[in-house]
Structure 1
């Protein structure tokens, strides 16, 4: 098989060729590695190689829907026993931290038959919507190397978009599957809370706001992988019902005409880029041509307050993550990025009652979204407020870095909280991605679908938010959109073809 043939197949297509003995897992692995060698110097998508593990697996009998298909996992929470896990952090990198056991999501990836041969880049602790960690370097967008592939699953998105693998592991605590999908022209489904495992160490991470899945070029790969990884794990807080016939079977039937509410303004009251609105118009016209009803409507939610509450949880999570790394490695303060230290400093200043007040407001967001879904099947929004940012555009300005350093020496950030800093950070940090956090805090599934390209040749996705348990409906709609406006063969020119 030539690379030009390899890239024409999705994961299920490659697995079928393996099953029919038209190609071997070793052949596929060689093609994936050759493509990685071609593009990785420019993109920096993969930061850890797993060559011995992959070579051994390529020679072993393997079962599963994706048997023999090359695959990459994200270097954040998708731990592989005995393989370095850096999480975008200098201290873990310096210490050569290697987890003693697989994450449950990694076990299920392996059981699906994929051949994992590397780990992809991520911002430090997945804390940003771009992938520019100081410890591992910048990851770039295959469509235009001056722009970001998004984050925090930016390395996975870059590798899939560049044709290294048909799909790769990703996770999403505030948009980290949907944001890079939108930036790189991929399909990205964030499953609902507890749909897939997070254990053994991180079950119900961030109260269930964070969840694992994959970034894919085809909808059917996403559906088939969800069939493979979904399901109850020991110790999970809930046991969810799965579709009787499975997600892959579900997408064979298009959805009945849907009533879809569209939000065409930022929840933070910040003007949207004209291309974000253009992407929404492209999507709306396609939906209407397929018989769906699209109306301007949105849940009654204070978007700025939701942003504050999301960041309150996020800052506390950064503090816990830093404490965990210090306990494992004895890390010094300078082994964490300045922005991470600032987030953790603010997180430590929240009182328990303040944190619980924010968490209690999540119930209100769930109720408001449920009221919306009583009238509308889905919510449609832009995935991003702007086209993919330029590299470095989201970095903290030098003057702010200088101002932050003395504040981090203060024993507490209480004064910062009283000053309204959280609101300021919410507006600044979420202005480019104000739409994705809603699905995380409410625990519902959501997806980004790649239906628009800017005149500059950059992808820009549209987000759909469903009600609890609506993964099958989202996938069915995505498959219908994919058939009507195919994107699989739309590939960037990076590295040549």
Structure 2
């Protein structure tokens, strides 16, 4: 029996959908209706979408200019840390306004200009502060691979929506692993772009002094390349990063057009130890070995090393800086900060970060910035010898929901589990380097495992090219069973 468009939809990536629209195999309205029906069917199971405008999206479909970009007409979702007009921005919190009269963030303006059809907003932990998506405000997001398990965070709703086949790609942000961790947990591809490469969010605080950047989670590498082109900085930026100087950098589709260009042998350093000595599960180490072997088969040089940077002071510095921004974003709600904060419905982890941020002095803030700058210099020197560093994304496959609870009063246990589970990603937010999670394996329990590849700041194209090379040579073809 011939498959219908409804049957095929969840296996199509964004480029395939947009191409089908331009070539008139189907219309924007048809594809939007299918996406909406898929969302209505699947979202009650995964809780990926926390605010929607399905009927508006269907009505808007006929007005979209299908020539506005190579992704025009594609159904899309925005993470609920980012303002989008017509829907409230709740930041995963019980304390924020339900006012939907908000101004689009700059990144959203670019998505709309490109002809993406936004269906709604995705689930996120409060203020994006943890690596699982289980906010008290909207409830936990469930992994499409196994509904009892975490999607990762903080872009867990985005990852769940893509893995469940609701949309082919979804907006995500990454301030400490929040694109790469959910990608690993949900069997997706996710690139954290270099600091300064893409347009920023609404203001400096929203990107945590450059720690956080936006992009997408996607099923295919070419989709991530195409979406990166949409938000690539063409004008001034708070953190300007010049692109490599050649004739292609002014191309509208620079990353997409150059994705499959040959790039020769590269040197890849492999790290298989945790930055603070935590145990890495054998299935994860096996996945990293397999990924290293695949890279070797493709002709790249592989060398196992110890990590060149002490992560602990860098993580502490980033935590101080994030804390100041959390304090800045919530303190105006409270007349008497300490007592009113304690009595509020903010989750405990957010309260702790806000209190810590309030106590950070100017001297401590500058020292924290200096610590991150030193790490950046160290990694730049490291990349004079090695093009890319390969490591785990997490120490284990996805954990069960409830295992990492940001509202837990046992704060020591929470901190220990956070460190035990993660620890690899945040360095590259501090240094501003490009970093990506690539699907590497599926565990014995049928849960995805990702591999983390990181390069020097500005080497986003090299990472995308390597990922595309791996995708073509060793197709991951991961489809969640939901």
TM-score of Structure 1 vs Structure 2, range by shorter chain: over 0.9
Map of 1:154 onto structure 2: 156
Map of 1:165 onto structure 2: 167
* Residues 348 and 409 in structure 2, CA contact (< 8 A), matched pair in contact too: no
Question: What CA RMSD, in Å, does the superposition of the two structures yield over aligned residues?
Answer: 2.1
Using the alignment, how far apart are the partners of 2:391 and 2:37 within structure 1? 38
Is 1:395 the counterpart of 2:384 in the alignment? no
Using the alignment, how far apart are the partners of 1:199 and 1:233 within structure 2? 14
Map of 1:319 onto structure 2: 327
Closer, same or farther: CA 25–399 of 1 in aligned 2, 3 Å: closer
Map of 1:294 onto structure 2: 302
Map of 1:19 onto structure 2: 22
**Secondary structure class of the residue paired with 2:50:** strand
Q: Which of 84, 90, 93 is the matching residue for 1:86?
A: 90
1:335 is displaced (CA, Å) by: 2.2
Is 1:384 the counterpart of 2:389 in the alignment? no
Map of 1:345 onto structure 2: 355
**Secondary structure class of the residue paired with 1:189:** strand
* Residues 122 and 153 in structure 1, CA contact (< 8 A), matched pair in contact too: yes
* Residues 279 and 420 in structure 2, CA contact (< 8 A), matched pair in contact too: no
* Residues 33 and 58 in structure 2, CA contact (< 8 A), matched pair in contact too: no
Map of 1:416 onto structure 2: none
Map of 2:427 onto structure 1: 438
**Secondary structure class of the residue paired with 2:95:** helix
Using the alignment, how far apart are the partners of 2:93 and 2:156 within structure 1? 15
Taking structure 2 as the reference length, what is the TM-score of the superposition? 0.92
Map of 1:412 onto structure 2: none
What stretches of structure 1 of length at least 5 have no aligned partner? 402-420
Question: Across the two proteins, how many residue pairs are aligned to each other?
Answer: 467
Post-superposition Cα deviations, 1:112-152, rounded to whole Å, max 9, x if no partner, equal 22100110000000000000000111001000111101000
Post-superposition Cα deviations, 1:412-468, rounded to whole Å, max 9, x if no partner, equal xxxxxxxxx8xx976542321100011100001100000211111100100111101
* Residues 14 and 169 in structure 2, CA contact (< 8 A), matched pair in contact too: yes
**Secondary structure class of the residue paired with 1:14:** helix
Is 1:268 the counterpart of 2:276 in the alignment? yes
* Residues 168 and 215 in structure 1, CA contact (< 8 A), matched pair in contact too: yes
Closer, same or farther: CA 462–271 of 1 in aligned 2, 3 Å: same
Q: Which of 203, 207, 210 is the matching residue for 1:208?
A: 210
Alignment map for 1:110-149 (pairs within 5 Å): 110-149=112-151
* Residues 197 and 203 in structure 1, CA contact (< 8 A), matched pair in contact too: no
Using the alignment, how far apart are the partners of 2:317 and 2:241 within structure 1? 27
* Residues 144 and 458 in structure 1, CA contact (< 8 A), matched pair in contact too: yes
* Residues 307 and 437 in structure 1, CA contact (< 8 A), matched pair in contact too: yes
Using the alignment, how far apart are the partners of 2:123 and 2:58 within structure 1? 22
**Secondary structure class of the residue paired with 2:389:** strand
Taking structure 1 as the reference length, what is the TM-score of the superposition? 0.90
Map of 2:178 onto structure 1: 176
Using the alignment, how far apart are the partners of 1:129 and 1:80 within structure 2? 23
1:99 is displaced (CA, Å) by: 5.0
Map of 1:2 onto structure 2: 5
Closer, same or farther: CA 99–203 of 1 in aligned 2, 3 Å: farther
Closer, same or farther: CA 99–356 of 1 in aligned 2, 3 Å: farther
**Secondary structure class of the residue paired with 2:390:** strand
1:171 is displaced (CA, Å) by: 0.4
**Secondary structure class of the residue paired with 2:77:** strand
Closer, same or farther: CA 226–442 of 1 in aligned 2, 3 Å: same
**Secondary structure class of the residue paired with 2:268:** strand
Using the alignment, how far apart are the partners of 1:465 and 1:56 within structure 2? 42
Using the alignment, how far apart are the partners of 2:167 and 2:298 within structure 1? 31
Map of 2:46 onto structure 1: 43
1:234 is displaced (CA, Å) by: 4.6
Range with bigger deviation, 433-442 or 310-319: 310-319
Is 1:369 the counterpart of 2:379 in the alignment? yes
**Secondary structure class of the residue paired with 1:462:** strand
* Residues 3 and 31 in structure 1, CA contact (< 8 A), matched pair in contact too: yes
**Secondary structure class of the residue paired with 2:198:** coil
Closer, same or farther: CA 201–168 of 1 in aligned 2, 3 Å: same
Closer, same or farther: CA 75–233 of 1 in aligned 2, 3 Å: farther
* Residues 347 and 406 in structure 2, CA contact (< 8 A), matched pair in contact too: no
